[in-house]
């Protein structure tokens, strides 16, 4: 089967052909032509058009063409769903959909700048998406810092860059939001993105998109969870509250939710962490 779309691909028009060839139509022929010629050439060549307006395989609401392919062909592989979030975020400039979206966008923006041959770019893109699929299948839970010396050197360079970036002035809304979050540290920390956007009088979509730039490269939800866990760890060290009380004080709906989030953030359960603190205090006093 022939599949046809616009020329000069970057994100979705590389991801979709990869998905077609790997999971839908292994013998597929992918054709790139100028935007104005897509429908005419589709009819002439008997090809299926995709990723342009007014065709079946296209964007719908906040989802991109890659999402539609998954739904249309009933592809339920969890790894493909992880990739879909990354592709959607990169293709729609919504990096809050997945933290890897910004990297994917940067990679293909650079490649498309260097490579003018669409088929050559597609060939290279197939290799990149094969690697992304392996990550999404087997390695998505692996921390970057669990690698070897090279990864550690890169992490060190990253932190040096962040220190340099700290000298740059943050926008007024980011400064105000940091103060709001700081104030919440002494409460239940139950702020929502919608509440924050109303308080700051900023569009929630814009706030969601820009938030990570000024808050540890995390989404609003991930940053608030991080702050809650840090507060919980502090309470365990400096107070005699029970874990149930600490869960309540840090804004978690129940003990189970607190346990899951704590372990995801730290790698250990709250009870294990508290036992470590108690043991450490005993060793210090002995």
Same domain, 133 and 186: no
* Secondary structure E strands in the chain: 2-6, 29-33, 48-49
Same domain, 92 and 10: yes
Domain with residue 251: its CATH number is 1.10.10.60
**Looking at the predicted structure, is the pLDDT value of residue 194 above 70?**
yes
The CA distances from residue 16 to 7, 35, 159, 216, in Å, are 13, 17, 35, 31
Same domain, 54 and 104: yes
Q: How many CA atoms lie within 13 A of 71 on its CB side?
A: 11
Q: In the structure encoding, which two tokens stand for residue 150, read together?
A: 């090279």
Q: Which residue has the higher pLDDT, 23 or 223?
A: 23
Q: Model confidence at 156, in pLDDT bands (50, 70, 90)?
A: low
* Residue 153, domain member (yes or no): no
Q: Which residue has the higher pLDDT, 8 or 140?
A: 8
Q: What is the mean pLDDT of the chain?
A: 83
Same domain, 123 and 28: yes
Same domain, 134 and 215: no
Tokens 């790139």 found at: 32
- Section 58-67 average pLDDT: 91
**Looking at the predicted structure, is the pLDDT value of residue 145 above 50?**
no
Q: Model confidence at 46, in pLDDT bands (50, 70, 90)?
A: very high
* Residue 50, domain member (yes or no): yes
* Residue 49, domain member (yes or no): yes
DSSP output for 59-98: -BTTB-HHHHHHHHTT---HHHHHHHHHHHHHHTT-TTS-
Q: Model confidence at 77, in pLDDT bands (50, 70, 90)?
A: very high
- Section 221-248 average pLDDT: 85
How many other CB atoms are found less than 10 A from the CB of residue 271?
12
Tokens 């239940």 found at: 188
Domain carrying residue 259: 172-279
C-alpha Rg value of the chain to the nearest Å: 23
Question: What is the model's pLDDT at position 235?
Answer: 87
Q: Model confidence at 158, in pLDDT bands (50, 70, 90)?
A: very low
Q: Model confidence at 162, in pLDDT bands (50, 70, 90)?
A: very low
Q: Model confidence at 115, in pLDDT bands (50, 70, 90)?
A: very high
- Section 233-250 average pLDDT: 85
| Helix/strand/coil for 190 | coil
Same domain, 124 and 217: no
Same domain, 112 and 217: no
C-alpha–C-alpha distance, residues 126 and 131, integer Å: 9
Express each pLDDT in 13-45 by its tens digit: 999 999 999 999 999 999 999 999 999 999 999
Percent of the chain's residues with pLDDT above 70: 86
Q: How many CA atoms lie within 13 A of 118 on its CB side?
A: 16
Task: Give me the number of domains the chain comprises.
Answer: 2
Please list, residue by residue across 80-90, b when 16 or more beta carbons sit within 10 angstroms of its beta carbon and e when fewer do. bebbbbbbbbb
């Amino acid at each position: 089967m022939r599949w046809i779309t616009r020329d000069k691909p970057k994100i979705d028009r590389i991801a979709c052909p990869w998905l077609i060839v790997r999971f839908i139509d292994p013998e597929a022929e992918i054709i790139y032509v100028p935007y104005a010629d897509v429908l005419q050439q589709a009819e002439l060549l008997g090809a299926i058009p995709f990723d342009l307006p007014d065709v079946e395989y296209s964007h719908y609401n906040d989802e991109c063409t890659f999402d539609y392919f998954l739904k249309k062909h009933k592809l339920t592989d969890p790894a493909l769903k992880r990739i879909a979030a990354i592709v959607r975020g990169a293709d729609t400039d919504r990096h809050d959909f997945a933290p890897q979206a910004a990297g994917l966008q940067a990679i293909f923006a650079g490649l498309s700048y260097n490579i003018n041959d669409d088929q050559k770019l597609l060939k290279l893109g197939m290799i990149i998406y094969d690697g992304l699929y392996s990550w999404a299948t087997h390695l998505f839970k692996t921390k970057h810092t669990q690698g070897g010396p090279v990864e550690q050197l890169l992490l060190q360079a990253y932190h040096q860059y962040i220190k340099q970036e700290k000298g740059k002035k943050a926008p007024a809304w980011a400064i105000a939001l940091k103060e709001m979050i700081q104030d919440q540290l002494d409460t239940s920390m139950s702020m929502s993105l919608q509440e924050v956007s109303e308080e700051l009088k900023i569009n929630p979509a814009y706030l969601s998109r820009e938030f990570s730039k000024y808050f540890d490269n995390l989404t609003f939800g991930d940053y608030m969870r991080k702050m809650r866990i840090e507060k919980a760890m502090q309470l365990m060290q400096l107070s005699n509250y029970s874990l149930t009380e600490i869960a309540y004080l840090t804004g978690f709906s129940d003990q189970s939710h607190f346990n899951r989030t704590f372990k995801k953030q730290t790698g250990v359960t709250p009870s294990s962490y508290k036992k470590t603190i108690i043991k450490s205090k005993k060793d210090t006093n002995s």
